[in-house]
Amino acid sequence: MNALLNIPPHTGCKKCGDCCGVIPATGSEIAAIRKYISDKPTIKKLAEKQSNDMLNCPFLDKEQNQCIIYPKRPMICRLMGVDKYCKCKYGNSASINGMLFMKDLDYDSTELLNHISWD
């Protein structure tokens, strides 16, 4: 996914956690997350504990209000606050067309991170 290199960072993020709700991810994104956490028992344990919380992503560290899988976060998370349709309550730091980055994703394999068993 070399296209990821072209997504600007959301420089206005206040780490409020409000955008870390119900998170859809494709099969390949889920596989990348599974590989990333395979040798990280603390992350797996937290994700499993939070996996049925429909209001928060299972990978949101609620104490720090930050993503614990940040390097492997799904495309929707990467676009938050920089895509013209993924609005941040504190304002977007860019206004790109996120559909350009999502056009090649396999939507048939999409699941919600909140509904997956991570153990």
Task: Note the pTM of the prediction, 2 decimals.
Answer: 0.88
Does 1 score more than 70 pLDDT?
no
3-state secondary structure of 60: strand
pLDDT score, position 5 = 66
Q: How many CA atoms lie within 13 A of 76 on its CB side?
A: 16
60-91, pLDDT tens digit by residue? 998 888 899 999 999 999 999 999 999 999 99
Task: Tell me the angle at which helices 41-50 and 27-37 cross, rounded to the nearest 10 degrees.
Answer: 130
97-113, pLDDT tens digit by residue? 988 888 877 878 899 99
Measure Cα distances from 84 to 10, 13, 25, 107 in Å.
12, 15, 20, 21
pLDDT score, position 51 = 81
